[in-house]
Amino acid sequence: MDNDIFEQFTEQLRRYIRERLIPAEKEVLETEMIPEAIMAEMRDLGLFGLTVPEEYGGAGMNIQQYIRTMREFSYAAPCFRSVTSINVGMVCSAFKNGGTDAQKAEWLPRLAAGEIASFGLTEPGSGSDSAAMQTTAVKSGNGWVLNGTKRYITNAPFANVALIMARTSKEALPKNAHVSAFIVPMDTAGITVGKSDKKMGQSGSHIADIIMEDVKLPADAILGGEEGKGFAFAMKSLDNGRMSVGAAATGYARRALDSALRYANERKAFGEPIANFQLIQQMLADSEIEIYAAECMLDDAARRADAGENVLRKAAAAKVFASEMCGRVVDRVVQIYGGAGYLAEYDAERFYRDARIYRIYEGTTQILQLQIAKHMLREWAAQA
């Protein structure tokens, strides 16, 4: 997307967030659903196809523009970003990176127009450990038969299509070549979606199990038309997904800090605003410093990704820092609010609950630390 057009879009999005999305948060909290009118508006704004090439009906944003958009978008309640980001950051990315021309032509326009997608990697007994994956895809005639269960799948209760990772070999193969990716329309016979899980926070964002029992798919349902590349497509998509989560955590930390800044200027103690107290100022300053650091890390990782660099390590690092930073910021915000921060009628309590998941999904802090260290040690060994 042209930079001037992008800046105009960003300004329009910022106004939309403050004038439309933030006022709608109360309804989302009460109903656990994004209002249909807002879903329609987000489709009209092109928020489901931000990185989809223009030839397929998308906005054609590069990764830097997408990550900045996610940061802006995440100033509002997390559910608004969540419903769009699986489309944009993960499923559309997988189609762009690994889909056949026919798959791109069929699915990218539909996803850009706002059909909802899910990304099925995690299972009851496995997440990042692909060797433990139990979902299988077995050849049958000219097609495939899928069996298995995927867990904690965002958008599953209302998704139109899911990109499902399944093992096409019983043995765990090098470079995860036993895992392939399958395009699964959610109305396919044999698919059952579990009840939407009750969560700690992030109202309006829904996750559920996807259960597959003898799900029959045509031969061209395998992404890229080739076995053994599903996990590679998934992990490349996860780089974008992890930067998106980092951007979400950073945007939400900014929202929480702005809330604390406003409260600290309004709340008085000992006859003056608590913003005048130096230890309150320290918490505000520390939060500003950490948000800025996260913004810089995300900008750098996204710029490198646009330049064609392998950003697996830097995307993981940015996600870890931003998500842990957000946790520290919302904790300080509750502290600045004092007793009011523990009450559900104030925003600080919601910010605290909403932010906790950022350190878990798209790779926990701990699994990403292991991944970062593994790549560091591998590079060291190669240089020795």
Nearest Cα to Cα of residue 68 among 24, 12, 10, 21: 10
Among candidate residues 339, 359, 90, the one with its CA nearest the CA of residue 200: 359
**pLDDT tens digits for 127-165?**
766 668 899 999 999 999 999 999 999 999 999 999 999
Once rounded to an integer, what is the mean pLDDT over residues 365-371?
94
- Residue 183 · residue 146 · CB < 8 Å: no
* Token representation of residue 233: 């497509």
**Helix (H/G/I), strand (E/B), else coil: 326:** helix
Give the number of other CB atoms < 10 A from CB of residue 149: 19
pLDDT digits (tens, 9 = 90+) for 200-240: 999 999 999 999 999 999 999 999 998 887 778 777 777 88
The arithmetic mean of pLDDT across residues 334-340, rounded, is: 97
pLDDT at position 130, please?
A: 65
CA–CA gap between residue 306 and residue 303 (Å, rounded): 5
Q: What is the dihedral of CA 167, 172, 173, 175, to 10 degrees?
A: 80
β 161-167/117-120 pair status: parallel
Nearest to 117 by CA among 193, 69, 183: 183
d(CA 49, CA 61) in angstroms, rounded, equals 9
Per-residue pLDDT at 182: 95
If phi > 0 it is left, if psi is from -120 to 50 it is alpha, else beta; for residue 114 that is left
Confidence of residue 172 (pLDDT cuts 50, 70, 90): confident
Predicted local distance difference test score (pLDDT) of residue 247: 97
pLDDT digits (tens, 9 = 90+) for 266-314: 999 999 999 999 999 999 999 999 999 999 999 999 999 999 999 999 9
> What is the Cα 120 distance to its own chain's centre?
13
| pTM score | 0.91
Cα 380 to Cα 202: distance, rounded to the nearest angstrom: 40
Q: What is the spatial distance between Cα 278 and Cα 280, in angstroms, rounded to a whole number? A: 5
pLDDT confidence of residue 27 = 96
Q: Please name the residues in contact with 333: beta carbons below 8 A apart, sequence gap of 6 or more.
A: 256, 257, 259, 260, 287, 341, 348, 351, 352
Q: How far is CA 103 from the centre of its chain?
A: 23
Residue 362 CA to residue 117 CA, distance in Å, equals 16
Mean pLDDT score across all residues of the chain: 93
Say if residues 87 and 48 touch (Cβ distance below 8 Å).
yes
Q: Which two tokens stand for residue 383?
A: 């240089």
Q: What percent of the chain has pLDDT over 70?
A: 99
Residue 109 CA to residue 49 CA, distance in Å, equals 8
Query: Catalytic site residues?
Result: 362
Beta pairing class for 191-193 and 268-269: unpaired
The answer, yes or no, to whether residue 263 has pLDDT greater than 90, is: yes
Domains of the chain by start residue, with CATH: 3-115 (1.10.540.10), 118-227 (2.40.110.10), 232-383 (1.20.140.10)
Q: Rounded CA gap, 304 and 207, in Å?
A: 32
Q: Which residue has 């990716």 as its token pair?
A: 181
103 and 183 Cβ atoms separated by less than 8 Å? yes
Average pLDDT over residues 368-373: 95
What digits encode the pLDDT tens for the residues 178-197?
Answer: 889 999 999 999 999 999 99
Q: Which residue has the higher pLDDT, 132 or 335?
A: 335
pLDDT class of 89 with cuts at 50, 70, 90: confident
The tokens 């895809």 sit on which residue? 137
pLDDT given for residue 363 in this prediction: 87
Name which of 345, 279, 302 is nearest 50 in CA terms. 302
Crossing angle for the helix pair 63-73 and 230-266, to the nearest 10 degrees: 40
pLDDT of 88 over the 90 cut: no
Tell me: pLDDT of 25 over 70.
yes
C-alpha angle with apex 300: 299 to 305, nearest 5 degrees?
A: 100
Q: Would you place residue 87 in the very low, low, confident or very high pLDDT band (cuts 50, 70, 90)?
A: confident
Q: Is the pLDDT of residue 108 over 70?
A: yes
